[in-house]
Structure 1
């Protein structure tokens, strides 16, 4: 989904939580446990006529009331969340006799077209995950209702962000970090094997399968650690049409900010040009190679080409740090401050990475090798926000115990500035940090 309006309850939580929610304004899903008594009462209410009609609101969102029908098959129980693309409703499926989550997309044609793409992606994921081990939300159905595309998915539990919030942002145990990290990487590896890039990985988009918690040593832990990735509305196929800026700010990779020019080997391997080139002589091949390089160079300038599968890996690294520490690693909304935070935590950006940037001089860097921060316009608040951040090693050591060294090594490999040097999801799963992980 797109950026969600915060629930009214957000104003009641303590200041630290409110500030945190305001910073994280993109794509927040709001699933929660459902009270069984309330559910029975709602299901026992008289069935509303499917002919009940409400005009869309001024933004093209579907208007509804609890107890009404979304087609005769689905009874609306409550609204779970709202975003740029539409609203997510918890519904009762009368045919399957189960709860489902239905994403009701706004009626404007641009949102309808985006929803069609998302449906195709979800169907691709489902068709390639017959055994159900891919770790991505399962689409059950989709339909067009009163000019709104409705995507029916399995009903899942709260997100990892909800789990952190429930526990007052207390760091998770190293065992949970291992377990969730392994599952997230497994899901990412599955997606990447299908040439799909999620582009918006974050704790809000990782949902627990279970809806209930159990208290363990003063920590509200889920009754099951199984998780699934959701929200493929921003997903893209490698080499396909894409936006120049992707990912929610806190989890955005440096190459997205820098607009780097880089050619990923997989793009060339899948290119039809390479197939035709096999029949050409060496000179023609060289000319073709230069032409392709020029095309990709222009793409890097005019459409922001420069991110691919590794941007998901960076996001996973940021998620693992957050689970380990209880706090988002890079809490900022400014590009230059974001880069400064990266350097504070991870060290200087390598010169060869800067040279591939669209902004290697002037905007972000001086002399093509040094970050132009702080400058005369930098505020004291910005300087304090950057300077308070510890080095990655020190940050992990504050929260991890016996596995700190292995976790630090994994994170350093996931958070490489150069995307070509980052681990792939499959490689990360072979890291020693996961070797002794108990499989639940």
Structure 2
């Protein structure tokens, strides 16, 4: 590790006290300038990949050297391979199923992001930012206020000049001497370079890349000791992601100790280790995430019987977390894995046109053979008594109290679950937005007007989002951007989204309403939601 050399002031003669020296310095301001002459340093050269050398002092007084890498934008997500298509089933749907109408292109989150980018130059009352690509972890960059992370307790940092890596590629490895000089295991963003038949930790042979996100990569591998296939989550060699992964290990070990038989359907950790400066988490190999299944199924909604099964499992998993004083904070379809990808295909009639403009009378719909799921990604989970960041959750599933800066706790998970259940029913995200004021306006269009007490709290915390009605009651500002007004106007109320035309929909609508409540103190808890009459209602098989 290189060190910067500074010219130090000469020691004071013993006959001079510190106070006398200070008085002489005050009398002649040039004294220090003539006595302490520092050497000018050249401006450090700029490199494409750079890091900072950091000395870290923990609570025990031990000093260690760490590397801080400049962060990079999140890479795009790679979907996992499809499972083989099973033979088509000739059974048709029942009248209770309402297929999607193809009169216009389906507005997905990716399309919403593209539209937001297209109107970035238009005028608006609140400054907007270009939306980022789809993420697996929370990202406060899409909010108007930046979030500052506090360092770990007992840590002190001293940053020196920046330099490139010796190999010029990415994060340094723990045992560089044992590797060939031309070996490069990282790319410039700190991601592990995955290659088929690569041996990790002398035990796991990689097969293929399953997915990639901001946190790192997930690969399929064979355990050479047991000959079983596993999934390995390889974290980026960047300190903040390494720290988050260690928190994830701690959470997963806690959950596994308290639920060894996995009755609560949270993914179990088989092992973890540090490989070439990458934290690796080994777990069982499961199917694709629910979002990828929706995407490959052309965003067709799930059957109502499957929605009930998903809801019961998810509420049970989150209730287990809350019983152990944990808040997931990043619930979304991407963090829900199917245990198996097997499905059958049925032909269902539809009316309208396809996104390309062609008339369509029927479509193929995939029906899962099994609805077993597992809750994953505890890298953002936090114990209730520990430090809470200002902004958590992925934008589309973020609770209103987080947007308004009112603090958050267990109820934010319940709100995210409400958004997810509506997405299962319609096939697309409930709130497709990338801007705070537009998001709140959409909530009022879907959930009804914000309660007076909650609006008053929000107006005190975020006055830029509110105005005064008659000089007394706070009211949410109206969006002025034309595209935002159009998007908000296109939102439908929960009664329109889930028409209460039978007892199943009536009970489902009532549950969703209680989950999607503005005030977190009045929002139903996940344990109370498990006792809702919706779960005692029989839902027949529609296919």
TM over 0.5: yes
Q: Residue 386 of structure 2 aligns to a residue in which SS?
A: coil
Q: Which runs of 5+ in 1 are unaligned?
A: 29-49, 261-305
1:4 & 1:420 partners in 2: Cα distance?
37
Q: Give TM-score scaled by structure 2 length.
A: 0.63
Residue 238 (structure 2) aligns with: 108
- Root mean square deviation, CA, Å: 2.6
Unmatched 5+ stretches in structure 2: 1-72, 81-101, 114-132, 138-177, 348-363
8 Å CA contact 2:74–2:214 kept in 1: the answer is: yes
Q: For the structure 1 residues 135 and 361, does the alpha-carbon distance in structure 2 shift closer, same or farther, using more than 3 Å as the test? A: closer
Determine the structure 2 residue equivalent to 1:20.
109
- Per the alignment, residue 76 of structure 2 pairs with 5
Q: 1:181 to 1:8 in 2, by over 3 A?
A: closer
Equivalent residues of 1:167, 1:220 under 8 A apart: yes
Contact 1:197-1:238 at 8 Å conserved across structures:
yes
Give the counterpart of 2:508 among 377, 391, 407. Answer: 407
Partner of 2:119: none
Is the alpha carbon distance of 1:85 and 1:8 closer, same or farther for their aligned partners in structure 2, counting shifts above 3 Å?
Answer: closer
- Hey, what does 1:331 align to over in structure 2? 432
Tell me whether 1:231 sits opposite 2:377 in the alignment. Answer: yes
**Could you say which residue in structure 1 is the equivalent of 2:39?**
none
Cα distance in 2 for residues equivalent to 1:361 and 1:61: 38
* TM-superposed deviation, 1:330: 0.4
The answer to whether the 8 A contact 2:414-2:524 is kept is yes
The whole-number CA distance in structure 1 between the counterparts of 2:302 and 2:502 is 12
User: Match for 2:499 among 397, 405, 408?
Assistant: 397
Structure 1 361/111 Cα, relative in aligned 2: closer, same or farther at 3 Å?
A: closer
Tell me: CA distance 1:242–1:439, structure 2 relative to 1, closer, same or farther (3 Å).
farther
CA distance in 1, matches of 2:539, 2:229: 31
SS of match in other structure, 2:214? coil
More relative contact order in 1 or in 2 (CA 8 Å, sep 6+)? Answer: 2
Q: Hey, what's the Cα distance between the residues in 1 that align with 2:251 and 2:75?
A: 22
- Does the CA-based 8 Å contact 2:459-2:465 persist in structure 1? no
Q: Secondary structure at the match of 1:157?
A: coil
Check 1:234–1:406 CA distance in 2 against 1; reply closer, same or farther (3 A cut): same
Measure, in 1, the Cα distance between the counterparts of 2:317 and 2:530.
Answer: 11
Shift of 1:96: 2.2
Structure 1 residues 397 and 8 mapped into 2: Cα distance closer, same or farther (>3 Å)? Answer: closer
Residue 396 of structure 2, aligned match among 227, 250, 254:
250
Three-state SS of the structure 2 residue aligned to 1:165 is helix
The separation in 1 between residues aligned to 2:249 and 2:540, in whole angstroms, is 31
Q: Is 214-223 or 169-178 further displaced after alignment?
A: 214-223
1:256 and 1:227 map into 2 onto residues whose CA distance is 27
Counterpart in 2 of 1:386? 488
- Alignment CA distance shift 1:74-1:55 (3 Å): closer
CA separation of 1:407 and 1:70: change in aligned 2, threshold 3 A? same
- Superposed, 1:57-96 pairs within 5 Å as 57-96=187-226
Change (3 A) 1:89 1:326: same
Task: Give the total of aligned pairs.
Answer: 365
Cα distance change on mapping 1:394 and 1:17 into 2, 3 Å? closer
Distance 1:85 1:219 in 2: 33
Distance 1:123 1:405 in 2: 40
Contact 1:3 1:84 in 2 (8 A): yes
Correspondent of 2:416 among 315, 319, 323: 315
> What TM-score do the two structures reach when normalised by structure 1?
0.78
2:333 equivalent to 1:203: yes
Which structure is higher in helix share? 1
What's 2:526 paired with?
425
Alignment of 1:127 with 2:198, yes or no, is no
Match of 2:474 in 1: 369
Secondary structure of the structure 2 residue equivalent to 1:420: coil
Whether the aligned pair in 1 keeps the contact of 2:219 and 2:233 (CA below 8 Å) is yes
Distance 2:378 2:78 in 1: 22
Query: Secondary structure in 2 aligned to 1:177?
Result: helix
Q: Give the Cα–Cα distance (whole angstroms) in 2 for the partners of residues 158 and 118 of structure 1.
A: 21
In structure 1, what is the equivalent of residue 123 of structure 2?
A: none
* CA distances 1:222-249 after superposition (whole Å, capped 9, x unpaired): 2211001111111111021121101111
Deviations 1:344-376 (A, max 9, x none): 0111111211222265563101125100113xx
Q: 1:434 Cα shift?
A: 0.6
Q: Post-superposition shift, 1:102?
A: 0.7
Q: 1:202 to 1:8 in 2, by over 3 A?
A: closer
